[in-house]
Amino acid sequence: MSVTIKTAAELAKMRVAGQLTRQVLDMITPHVAPGITTGELDQICHRYIVDDLGAIPAPLNYRGFPKSICTSVNHVVCHGIPGKRILKSGDIINIDITVIKDGYHGDASRMFAIGDVSIRAQRLINITRECLETAIRLVRPGTRLGDIGAAIQQHAEGNGFSVVREYCGHGIGRVFHEDPQVLHYGTFGSGLELSPGMTFTVEPMINAGKKETRLLPDDWTVVTRDHSLSAQWEHTIGVTEDGHEILTN
């Protein structure tokens, strides 16, 4: 596979898909509270995506994934499967939404703090968000993917946290996960140079403890090996002539 360059018409469709993705996250926000199950969050999002937005929830049946959204609680790094888990005060959760509209994907995720969370958990959420925002500010023609990875790694590790290595951001368009791979660690000045029309996600997964992960026997749920908390934020970005556009904003 190679990196696809989107035309203005394709970018317009990516923008629509990105806006719908953001709308799902906005819609679900008031529901993310103590007492609800992750399975109920999935059901609400599924109905909204299909019935209200006329869109397709991309995760459903993607490589056998059984639900329409990913819900990753506390030490779950990513790809948590919605189910019977009841959210309680002190939990942190990532909700990751990907919709397909008119053949194009939008992909974004946010962290939510349930009730009162520890100062360390809130700090992890905030630093991870800053990692994403710092990376996005660098996106323009001429920037290299290594610059993005290095900036994220520097901010995470400079604050005493670690960067998950096994999962990364990705090119996105007609295909959910396409080239390039967008690593969240790296070396400034290295890697692919960005050009206008590229669209990709940045989605750093940052652990409060060590960087190592483990895949649970369900073959989807990724957890931190040391059971430390993990956080993630994600946007879909388009490279423009003079900078970038956050398609999921």
Is 178 a residue that touches Co ion (CB under 5 A)?
no
Residue keyed to tokens 């990105």: 18
Using CB atoms within 10 Å of the CB of residue 8, give its burial: 0 to 12 exposed, 13 to 18 middle, 19+ buried.
Answer: exposed
Looking at beta carbons only, is 57 or 191 nearer to Co ion? 57
DSSP 193: B
Question: Minimum CB separation from ligand MF3 for residue 242, in Å?
Answer: 27
Nearer to Co ion, 71 or 143 (CB): 71
Q: Which of residues 36-55 bind Co ion (CB under 5 A)?
A: none
Q: Whole-number minimum distance, CB 167 to ligand MF3, in Å?
A: 8
Q: Which is nearer to ligand MF3, 83 or 160 (CB)?
A: 83
Give, to the nearest 10 degrees, the angle between helix 38-47 and helix 8-28: 130
Residue 77 per-residue DSSP state: E
Tell me, what DSSP letter sits at residue 110? E
Q: Which residue, 61 or 118, has its beta carbon nearer to ligand MF3? A: 61
Which of these, 101, 85, 140, lies nearest to 17 by C-alpha position? Answer: 101
- Which option in ligand MF3, Co ion, none does residue 65 bind, with CB closer than 5 to 8 A by kind? ligand MF3
Residues that bind ligand MF3 (CB under 6 A): 59, 62-63, 65, 70, 79, 96, 98, 107, 201, 203, 234
